[in-house]
Amino acid sequence: MDFFCRVTLALMVITFLSAALSQAHPGFNFGWGGHGGISGGYFGLFPEFYQSSCPQVDDIVVSVLEKAIAKEPRMAASLLRLHFHDCFVQGCDASVLLDDSTGIASEKRSVPNRNSIRGFEVIDEIKAKLEEACPHTVSCADILALAARGSTVLSGGPNWVLPLGRRDSRSASLSGANNNIPPPNSTLPNLVTFFERQGLDEVDLVALSGGHTIGVARCTTFKQRLYNQNGNNQPDATLDRTYYYGLKSVCPRSGGDNNISPLDFASPARFDNTYFKLILWGKGLLTSDEVLWTGNDRRTMQLVKNYAGDEGLFFEQFANSMVKMGNIRPLTGYNGEVRKNCRRIN
């Protein structure tokens, strides 16, 4: 047998084995030609992952989201935040959804998540409907990614092609949640460091911060700005005065920690670029919002200005950065599992 025939036969065998494996494990794919690294493709992670095993997955997710967001528009932001808080801990593996159990200390108890992270019941409902339609097929990690995209679109924001095929972790990291999620009083250098740890750059930082165009924050997350920003019992000098007095009425010096204020008071339920305009006017709610403009970093300042002036540009980069964030250390192939109940391992 000559060389050409041997190569042809080898390729035929590979094609046959790949097809056989795909039939035995719908949605599984070798991902020939994929690239490693956070910005490239991943073994088993691609948009058509459920094309044969659960083609109705997105319709089911969106149908649940439509009802949940119509009932409570704030839920869109909560689900977007849930995906963010998942990916930044030990990759996009749905570890944030796990409850306390033997051997698992839930990330829900961490400082960034305690008394503030929400949306678990919506994820539970999506999972239950998917288990009815496509048993033991769609991972909780993919549900988080799909819910984040759906919530953005239903709030008026951009859509994007979403790589799928993540698997669910069998562990959580309470310490990781405490140490890897950027706090709301972060300085700009701290924010850059938090994002760099995940393989994300300053463009991703500013674009993903734009997710604060929807949702609210608790008084405890911005109280320092109002009363003691620099340890001198004075407010943050970068705050617009009128905005400052309005926030004081919502967030008193003593108590009221769970009182809420919109991150974008001009259009709190609509995904748009108003968030960036407010930052330019000294009306960013959190320190971590305003420092994108006041942190003396020419690049972040220019990005804020660009996104404030061009909503389409912001939408395009937000979509790109969401895909990039969603690709942080996913479990694929035979790693992890597909949980039947998102709150506990199988």
User: Mind listing the pLDDT tens digit for each residue in 133-178?
Assistant: 999 999 999 999 999 999 999 999 999 999 999 999 999 999 999 9
Q: What is the pLDDT of residue 44?
A: 66
7: helix, strand or coil: helix
Which pLDDT belongs to residue 37? 34
* CA trace torsion 272, 277, 279, 281 (10° rounding): -150
Annotated ligand binding at 91? The verdict is yes
Confidence band for 45, pLDDT divided at 50, 70 and 90: confident
> What's the rounded mean pLDDT across residues 272-279?
98
Coil, strand or helix at 168 = strand
Say which of 25, 83, 85, 136 is annotated catalytic: 85
Residue 1's pLDDT is 53
Residue 94 CB partners (closer than 8 Å, separation 6+): 86, 139, 140, 141, 143, 144, 166, 168, 169, 339, 342
Lowest mean pLDDT among 35-44, 60-69, 187-196: 35-44
Are 115 and 107 within 8 A, CB to CB?
A: no
Consult the annotation and say whether 213 binds a ligand.
Answer: yes
User: Cα(first)–Cα(last) distance of the chain, in Å?
Assistant: 50
| Most confidently modeled range among 40-44, 112-116, 319-323 | 319-323
Known binder of ligand: residue 95? yes
pLDDT at 169: 97
Asked if residue 272 belongs to a known ligand binding site, the reply is: yes
Instruction: Determine the pLDDT at residue 12.
Output: 43
pTM: 0.87
- Residue 136 annotated as catalytic: no
Of the ranges 3-7, 8-12, 39-43, 115-119, which is most confident?
A: 115-119
Residue with tokens 């999972």, as numbered in its chain: 127
Domains in the chain, start-ordered, CATH in brackets?
56-215+263-327 (1.10.520.10)
Question: Which of 202, 58, 181, 65 lies closest to 130 in space, CA to CA?
Answer: 58
The percent of residues in the chain predicted with pLDDT above 70, rounded, is: 87
Residue 115 has a pLDDT of 87
* 32 Cβ contact partners less than 8 Å away, ≥ 6 residues apart: none
Radius of gyration of the chain (CA): 22
Question: Is residue 242 a known part of a binding site?
Answer: no
182 is in an annotated binding site: yes
Across the chain, mean pLDDT equals 89
- The whole-number average pLDDT for the span 43-63 is 92
